[in-house]
Amino acid sequence: MGLSLPLELIHYLIKASRDDLPTLLQFSLVSKECRAESRRHAFEWVQLGRGSTWHPTVLQGHMNHASERLSLELSESRIKEFHVLLLANPTLGTYVRDLDVGVGFLISPKRFRASRDTLAHDLPAILDLLPSLTSFGITYGSHNLQEWTDLPRELQESVGRCCSSPRIKRLGFTDFTEFPYTLVTSPPNLEELHLSYIFEAKTKSEPTSQPVVRQSRQMKTVSAMAYGSSIVGKLIEEDPGAFSCVVTINWHIQSQVDVDVFGRLTQLCARSLQEVSLEFGVRIGLGHATNLDALELMPQIKRLYLSSRIHLPDTEFEGEYPRFGLSYDLALYQSILQTQHELDVLEVKIELSTYTNFTSTYNLPSRILHNRRVWRTFDEYLASPSARDLPAPIGFHVVVSWGSAEDHRPWDPKEWVFRGQLQKEMRGRLKRSLEAGRVATDYTWYT
């Protein structure tokens, strides 16, 4: 006699595998009951098109791996097939809770005419067939900006209907100009908002004769990873009470507007704020932020993630730019950390991308990390009793992307030299704090 498991236990196992799409697909072959339950989880997160709306910082908190969602990104024909599938099986549409749409590959000049039917018909129809949607994100996703008004009218209208749904709790928009502000004000129960490279329409709409009365919302997560802070600032001016319960902030610091809006936001949610991720892109002398006091006035939080880049110039032997990037940000790091006394988690992410000429034409830079004095001051601070309130060890995660020269081969001798040089300099700059066990470093290499 074969072993029989209670259906409740099988459903529990399926639910435990909700982040593993291959396993869910295997479960769907067991029986009709397992197929229905597996589909419920397999269709929970769906990605259409190429590129993700969500910044990596946001994805880390939302799901374990972006690749685990049901992804239909190979061609517009797959999107059409998904539309046909929903029409034939309406129940599948009720399973989708999270939809991420990347439209850049459909709007490229070479394909736009052929793909217009997908944008104007299939995508809008798909949105209307997802009655249980709680999270929606849309991105151009091609490292360029797209005017929102150039999208087909049918798609604009369907997105508007989607955003106004009382079920929507989470919205994300990336890489759009002429963005309609009403999309972020229409969802009555919005809790999470994520914006990156979003520029509001320059021409303001005419005010209506009747004032718009909006239900006060209770935001939980706010992300403005690049050029989204001005819209958040406008939302704060209209309804500051909606931000009094924010728990998580993901923020890109570059302009003075970024700093000022961040400061207003953190003061509004001082009692509820638990987690902050700060990504720094300030460049001295280029018109960026100059008054950073708001960062030092941040309320006490439990989890802090700091992120900077090592900027290598495209000239030989110069090493890191001394006026911006990680070596400049360290002094700001220290100023922030000296005001935080209740942290449970503190991590630093460092990103570095080599230029093509370092991989092919010229020699490697003679020195990668500049500003030894700033590094020494930061290292001494982390190893001193003054930093005893900080959690230990502090994780320094270094992510390196090697240049994409045509003649580059992974693991070539020059790359190994660069790896060794970077690790040696990092060990030297953090010598005291490493020896005291206050810091731990790890490296991720993309070749």
Q: Please give the chain's pLDDT, 447 residues, in tens.
A: 344 666 666 665 656 655 555 665 565 656 666 666 666 666 788 888 766 666 555 444 443 443 444 544 445 777 888 898 889 888 888 889 999 988 887 776 555 555 778 889 999 999 999 999 999 999 987 667 889 998 999 999 999 999 999 999 999 999 999 999 999 999 999 999 999 999 988 765 444 444 444 556 899 999 998 889 999 999 999 999 999 999 999 999 988 999 999 999 999 999 999 999 999 886 654 556 778 899 999 999 999 999 998 877 554 444 555 556 788 889 899 999 999 999 999 999 998 877 554 555 445 666 788 788 999 999 999 999 999 999 999 999 999 887 655 555 665 677 788 888 889 999 999 999 999 999 999 999 887
Give the pLDDT confidence score for residue 263 in this predicted structure.
96
* Four-residue CA torsion sign, 351, 50, 223, 66: negative
Give the pLDDT confidence score for residue 229 in this predicted structure.
94
**Euclidean distance between the first and final Cα of the chain, in Å?**
53
Give the pLDDT confidence score for residue 364 in this predicted structure.
63
Look at residue 131 and give its three-state secondary structure.
coil
Give the pLDDT confidence score for residue 408 in this predicted structure.
55
The token duo for 156 is 């604009």
Q: Within its chain, how far is the Cα of 154 from the centroid?
A: 28
Contact 148, 156 (CB under 8 A): yes
With a CB cutoff of 8 Å and minimum separation 6, the contacts of 414 are 359, 364
With a CB cutoff of 8 Å and minimum separation 6, the contacts of 153 are 120
Spatial distance between the Cα atoms of 166 and 134, rounded to a whole number of angstroms = 9
E runs forming strands in 51-187: 70-72, 98-102, 135-139, 146-147, 170-179
The token duo for 357 is 């000429």
What φ, ψ does residue 88 adopt, rounded to 5°?
-80, -25
The token duo for 53 is 């709306």
Give the pLDDT confidence score for residue 63 in this predicted structure.
39
Contact 334, 308 (CB under 8 A): no
Contact 263, 232 (CB under 8 A): no
Spatial distance between the Cα atoms of 52 and 138, rounded to a whole number of angstroms = 8
Secondary structure letter of residue 307 according to DSSP: E
Contact 239, 216 (CB under 8 A): yes
The token duo for 119 is 């944008």
Give 382: exposed, middle or buried? Use CB within 10 Å, 0-12, 13-18, 19+.
buried
Secondary structure letter of residue 121 according to DSSP: I
Beta strand pairing status for 170-179 and 135-139? parallel
Beta strand pairing status for 439-446 and 170-179? unpaired
**Torsion of Cα atoms, 114 then 116 then 121 then 127, to 10°:** 120
Spatial distance between the Cα atoms of 191 and 188, rounded to a whole number of angstroms = 9
Could you tell me the maximum CA-CA distance found in the chain, to the nearest angstrom? 78
Give the pLDDT confidence score for residue 183 in this predicted structure.
95
Give the pLDDT confidence score for residue 191 in this predicted structure.
96
Give the pLDDT confidence score for residue 300 in this predicted structure.
97
Spatial distance between the Cα atoms of 334 and 254, rounded to a whole number of angstroms = 18
Spatial distance between the Cα atoms of 80 and 126, rounded to a whole number of angstroms = 9
Which helix (H) or strand (E) segment is 432 a member of? helix 431-435
* Residue 176 C-beta-side C-alpha neighbours within 13 Å: 27
Contact 129, 121 (CB under 8 A): no
